[in-house]
A and B are shown apart, each in its own frame.
Chain A
């Protein structure tokens, strides 16, 4: 290809990008609001964002947090895993909002994001998954802040940051206060009953096909809210990894006795409807489980809504824990 033809092609592509709004010009962006801009510290650096955003796109874990905080959303990613934990009002909002991305980060529909004309994009995916998203392309549409999950218990800080980015802290703080009050009440209620008990937790992300189970420790999905009630989870991961791998591991079922033999009581994850997930049932059907001291002593407690990642959802988890722990008060 000659130099002249190459230059002509580059010129044509640049023109096409400018016409379709994929360029980096500010001219086509939506109004950034009255309050000007501010600098926001996110996973992807210090980003200049609107002080009072009016049109926000949220993806991943940011979706339930920002719906709950009543952020001015104009587009969201699909978030099926969170649907069972949403309130009726939040679920209606979730269903009504245009979906600009699928469940996976790689399923982001960049044209749909551009069509939503956001003035802020909040990406709530873990840092390693951020590589699946063309952040530069999104930045050509609106400022992008990445606020993704790390250790499961960090949802408290992350959801606050997400609400803060969208300028919705007021609603967020109201829900948080309710949660804190409820957790404090339950901690008082179960203070004596939980005293001296060391818990272990069986999570739902083991893989039956591989013969593994998920052992969760403190600050993990299945344990962090029960810890707010006063439950103590003993032990730690043998070889900590990034994110949730810092607080949970996936050993072979043969290691079940070594992993949970010392537990005075065991909590285990169940689905939102109370049914036992296949990965948990696989463990509970094994004789190794039935041989555990806590199981023989009938000190096992199902916990629903363990994937809660907002204060509103965590209120449901508190209710579920209250129901599950109730027999402890009679002992």
Chain B
């Protein structure tokens, strides 16, 4: 344990019980929202029937819908919400920039570019192809940004912005020239959780689960880094090692989430802001709260995406954008600039 983490831990001891209570309340809320979300859709299913389908599967149409369509979708919402929120908390802590979000590492642009290129050469046909292309593209883009900008947070942000601009420009040019590629890209470009139940999700979901555990393990070391590089050095923290590990985690979390659901931009920016005040400067609590609130927010947005329009679904990324703006403004007005 580093000196920095001991200091932060001591400072947070007296708040540990209320924080733990808040976390427990959040977990109960998450479970309730998950059950309700499984009941909401084109064919309403009562919560009691949802529980029956999960615990005593009888193979009826309702049970098949719960087990094969909605439960995987809810699981995906939990995983993607947690991944994006924790990636956002990590990048904001690492960059010491409240406007940082996972896309700043070029993850979204890398995935979009890879899908565009993959569609052009016939590699991104079908869900598996798109998933593979998005995963490879996002990881390569993030690695490139991390390699060039690893020395300082400012350099990291600038490299990410520059690479994003280049990749977006080239991809846009390709899509303009190739209408079929544009057609393949347009559905992916608006993040959604619909119809992912048949996609090969085991690998990205496992990567997200392992990375979330890794983020928790790293969170104490990040407490020292949050105080600034010089302070972290003086406290004996291995700055380079911690920063490298955090970059790997951000890359895997946001890359896997973007690959399976497409770009959902607001969650990574918004959730860390909403939980920053109850976390009271503790990175471990910031990550824990993000891990719970991210899924809650995405599950609610996903329910909204299913019921907002009578004509069909609205992609969840549009709902999170509608929710995200007002919530961020509320957070700023409620807690002032200190919230950021």
Contact = CB atoms under 8 A, between A and B. Distances in A.
Interface of A: 103, 207-212, 250-255, 257-258, 278, 282, 285-288, 291
A258 to B, nearest CB: 7
B43 A210 contact: no
Contact of A207 (B61, B127, B179, B187): B187
B162 to A, nearest CB: 30
Contacts of A252: 41-43, 312-313
Given A210-B187, A282-B195, A251 B313 contact: no
A210 B198 contact: no
Contacts of A210: 187, 192, 194-195, 312-313
Contact of A288 (B65, B125, B126, B312): B65
Contacts of B61: 257, 288, 291
Nearest to A288: B64
Contacts of A286: 68-69, 198
Contact of A209 (B64, B179, B192): B192
Contacts of A258: 43
7 contacts: A209-B187, A210-B192, A210-B194, A211-B69, A252-B41, A254-B42, A291-B61
B289 interface: no
B188 interface: yes
Chain A binding surface SS class: helix
Contacts of B126: 278
Interface in B111-138: 125-127
B66 to A, nearest CB: 10
Given A211-B194, A253-B69, A291 B313 contact: no
Nearest to A258: B43
Given A208-B127, A286-B198, A254 B65 contact: yes
A313 to B, nearest CB: 23
Interface string B47-86: 0000000000001010011001100000000000000000
Contact of B198 (A103, A251, A255, A285): A285
A103 B127 CA distance: 26
A254 B43 contact: yes
Contacts of B125: 278
A291 B64 contact: yes
Contacts of B43: 252, 254-255, 258
A143 to B, nearest CB: 31
Interface string B159-202: 00000000000000000000100000001100010110010000
B89 to A, nearest CB: 29
A255 B127 CA distance: 22
A208 B42 contact: no
A288 to B, nearest CB: 6
A211 B196 CA distance: 8
B41 A254 contact: yes
Given A210-B187, A210-B192, A252-B42, A287 B64 contact: yes
Interface string B21-59: 000000000000000000001110000000000000001
A209 B65 contact: no
A286 B43 CA distance: 16
Given A211-B195, A257-B61, A286-B69, 7 more contacts: A103-B179, A209-B187, A210-B192, A210-B313, A254-B41, A278-B126, A288-B69
A272 B25 CA distance: 56
B68 A255 contact: no
Contacts of B127: 208
Among A103, A250, A287, A291, which residue has the most Cβ atoms of chain B within 10 A?
A287
Contacts of B64: 287-288, 291
B312 A250 contact: yes
B258 to A, nearest CB: 15
B195 A253 contact: yes
Nearest to A290: B64
B42 A209 contact: no
| A212, A253, A255, A278: most-surrounded residue (chain B CB, <10 A) | A253
Contacts of A255: 42-43
Interface string B243-287: 000000000000000000000000000000000000000000000
